[in-house]
Chain A
Amino acid sequence: MRRLPVVTAAVLLALGGLPAFADAPSTILNASYDVSRELFVAVDQAYAAKYLKDTGKTLEIKQSHAGSSKQARSILEGLDADVVTFNQATDVQVLADKGFVASDWTSKFPHGASPYYSLPVFLVRAGNPKGIKDWNDLVRDDVKLVFPNPKTSGNARYTYLAATAYAKEAFGNDEAKVNDFVKKFLANVVVFDTGGRAATTTFVEREIGDVLITFETETTGIRKEFGTDKFDAVVPSVSLLADFPVAIVDKVAEKRGSTEIAKDYLNFLYSPEGQTILAEHGNRVRDEAVSARFADSFKPVRLVTVEAVFGGWPAANKTYFGSDGLLDQQLAGQ
């Protein structure tokens, strides 16, 4: 038994004594949504170069990608992210409610702390064999859809709400008809992945489904990666504005002394250089000069907002995405 304390100490040392993170802020961690992988490779590279030029020091920006809500949850559980670049304001709000992010985070950066935006659009196979034009084509019996799980993916929540918004307009808010439409829409989904990128893989690599519904930026990326001759992007008559919010995770940044770097990093996204990179990756941007240069890449589309149609995210979350919300009921009724 005399050896037990030694064993105990050794085990505790092995389990708890390891350093959490490199202490000097020569690294920062950006927790982002799933489909922003290639975007932030480019952004991080450009920012690291700028940082080296400005300060003479090297900075390594680490990335973590997963469904936006999963990332928020991970941060609450102790993922030491210095900044978040999410695809949905609620996921930042969750962090603000728990004191991880300043409560006035939307006013910390320009444009409501949203340097860029996107919208759910359709990606179809080359030549659009099923003739998909708008949301009402997606409820046809012969059409199979792929998009991620709205419970875990911000991307999919936009998709779900965009379809609902279309139905609300089409049926003049006739609840029963809207509900039927969305039910059919959900019934056509063949695979629910947990993140946006997994849905892309399912559609592109595994050739499942006729339509992938995802952010416009992702469809741009897919066509860039796999060839514009393999897939066509279809922009529907109406879609939902998806603001991509950014914030400093103060609780982590203060502890690590990285607040200044984090702020500079997020501000970089608003600079002409940052906005250009964002636009190159298929995101619609705020800078008018950059926007004008990329005007050809972005089809004009009528965008409605979560605020106008659903009374804001908290209301939408409660009505649709909570336990036994409308989404659960619509899925259960199949």
Chain B
Amino acid sequence: MSQASPPLAGAAGRGWSRPVVIGIVLLVTALVIGAPVAAVFVQALSQGVGYALDSLAQPDTRAAIWLSITVAIVVVPINTVFGIAAAWAIAKFRFPGRKLLLAIVELPFSVSPIVAGISYLFVYGGQGLFGPFLEAHDLKIMFALPGIILATTFVTAPFVARELIPLMQLQGNGDEEVAATLGAHGWQTFFRVTLPNIRWGLLYGVVLCNARVLGEFGAVSIVSGNIRGETNTLPLHVELLYHDYNAAGAFAAALVLTLVALLTLFVKTILERVTGSAGALHGS
């Protein structure tokens, strides 16, 4: 709504306070948010654009980029399906344990990624709950792609659901009830009625989920075996290069992630303009 509705001329908006408040906020934002982003650009390009591109073309860095993309390709659809299902169940129905379920779905948001990584290690690690079973069947989860996927799935679980639940609650069940009364079956109702209603919110959740998937660090750092060119995601690779005496290379990799983040914000802004609703991102 900050996009759509014109700002209100409130009481505090008069006189000298207005430019001062705006000025201070802009200055602090430049220092706190702008400067780190600028630093990434400056450091990444400190040895020239050619050097940055060269370091991105290194086999290990390319492998890290591909690994991160692979993880996103698997995790984002899983969490999208889950997000829709969870929102559908929680927003459209009342049932015992609903609030508890909501709390569980939201839990990965407030719990530290480190806790997530440790927990997964206890389940799938060699000494863990399923360790002996996995070893007997020669299945690898920890320190391989499945472990990275699982940990990332946990950390980004609530993104889509949290976007959709308030939206579906706001829209109510009227449209679906009408559709059902007119004889539409379940999937028809979903694809023809509900999906068009929630598509922008859904896309918004997917975009945020994707950004977070690509950027996950803490949980993945526990379940990845740090194998160069194999189980290093791009954020882990930033750390690795950073400690490889290759600060410029590390920042070049960080720049890729920063550009993805900026692109995410751009897409998000476009989506907000389309829907005309402000990003009550995690609030409401």
Chain A residues engaging chain B, CB cutoff 8 angstroms: 7, 11, 14-16, 18, 20-21, 29, 34, 37, 62-66, 74, 76-80, 195, 197-198, 200-201, 204-205, 225-226, 255
Contacts and interface: CB of A to CB of B under 8 A. Distances in A.
Contact of A197 (B78, B146, B243): B243
A15 B146 contact: yes
A251 to B, nearest CB: 10
A78 B146 contact: no
A21 B245 CA distance: 29
Interface string B127-156: 110010011001111111110011000000
B173 to A, nearest CB: 21
Contacts of A63: 227-228
Contacts of B144: 18, 20-21
Nearest to B137: A16
A77 B125 contact: yes
With most chain B CB atoms within 10 A of its CB, the pick from A11, A74, A255 is A74
A43 to B, nearest CB: 14
Interface of B: 74, 78, 81, 121, 125-128, 131, 134-135, 138-146, 149-150, 225-230, 242-245, 247
12 contacts: A14-B78, A14-B149, A15-B141, A15-B146, A16-B146, A62-B227, A76-B127, A77-B143, A79-B142, A80-B143, A197-B244, A226-B245
B226 A76 contact: no
A77 B142 contact: yes
Where chain B touches its partner, the secondary structure class is loop
A15, A197, A226: most-surrounded residue (chain B CB, <10 A): A15
Contact of B243 (A195, A225, A226): A195
A252 B146 CA distance: 19
Nearest to A255: B138
Contact of B228 (A64, A79, A201, A204): A64
Contact of B143 (A15, A79, A205): A79
Contacts of B134: 16, 78
Contact of B140 (A7, A37, A62, A80): A80
B179 to A, nearest CB: 20
A20 B135 CA distance: 11
B263 to A, nearest CB: 26
A76 to B, nearest CB: 6
Contact of A198 (B131, B138, B243, B247): B243
B225 A201 contact: no
A55 B129 CA distance: 42
Given A195-B243, A198-B243, A201-B242, A16 B139 contact: yes
Contact of B226 (A7, A15, A20, A65): A65
Contact of A20 (B125, B131, B140, B244): B140
Contacts of B139: 16, 20
B143 A225 contact: no
A236 B160 CA distance: 59
Contact of B225 (A16, A79, A197, A204): A79
A198 B149 CA distance: 27
Given A14-B149, A20-B138, A78 B227 contact: no
Q: Which 4 A-B pairs have the closest CB atoms?
A: A20-B140, A77-B125, A79-B225, A78-B126
Given A37-B244, A62-B229, A79-B225, A74 B143 contact: yes
Contacts of A15: 141, 146, 149-150
A18 B146 contact: yes
Nearest to B140: A20
B143 A16 contact: no
Contacts of A14: 74, 78, 146, 149
Nearest to B240: A65
A64 B125 contact: no
